[in-house]
Amino acid sequence: MRRAIFPGSFDPITMGHVDIIKRSLPLFDELVIAIGVNSTKKYMFSLEQRKAFIEASFADEPKIKVDTYSGLTVDYCQSIDANFILRGLRNPADFEFEKTITQVNRRLSSIETVFLLTSSETSFISSSIVREVIQFGGDYSSMVPSAVKL
């Protein structure tokens, strides 16, 4: 079975994430959207809210599972027998950051990382931008799935 994880904080999930997830489905038998837990990070949405947003957004997709984890991503992959890590790239800065993480992961395991470029329609969207729009009362509805509600 080709099982991949798509790790992230998803605070909140965006249409950029949705784009990568939907386009990756033909590549894998199962995709686990893995919400990483970092106790030192301040989140806008609780873990339960973030998980609920994702589950509601993909309720009709049987190939998608949603889970949470803490610790090293490669350790989590090994614990669920995932062979791949899926990552989305918006720009060259994302590539440089992700390249370094991928090289470390290769030192630690045999898990392969698969990169997909975001579509031009969603490449400007990031969770941090969405949080800022929300914080200042802007209309964020076109940047997130309809399940993301305050």
17 is catalytic: yes
Q: Does pTM surpass 0.75?
A: yes
Q: Catalytic site residue 41?
A: yes
pLDDT of residue 40: 82
- pLDDT digit string, tens, across residues 45-85: 999 999 999 999 999 999 999 999 999 999 999 999 999 99
In 3-state terms, what secondary structure has residue 112? strand
Burial per residue of 38-73, b for 16 or more beta-carbon CB atoms within 10 angstroms, e otherwise: eeeeebbbeeebbbebbeebbeeeeebbbeebeeeb
Give the tens place of pLDDT for each residue, 88-144: 999 888 899 999 999 999 999 999 999 999 999 999 999 999 999 999 999 999 999
Domain boundaries, the chain: 3-143
- Considering the domain delimited by 3-143, tell me its CATH architecture: 3-Layer(aba) Sandwich (3.40)
Annotated catalytic residue 57: no
CA distance 15 to 28: 20
Catalytic residue among 23, 90, 99, 131: 90
CB 23, CB 117: distance < 8 Å: no
Q: What angle do CA 26, 20, 85 make, to 5 degrees?
A: 75
- Residue 107 annotated among the catalytic residues of the structure: no
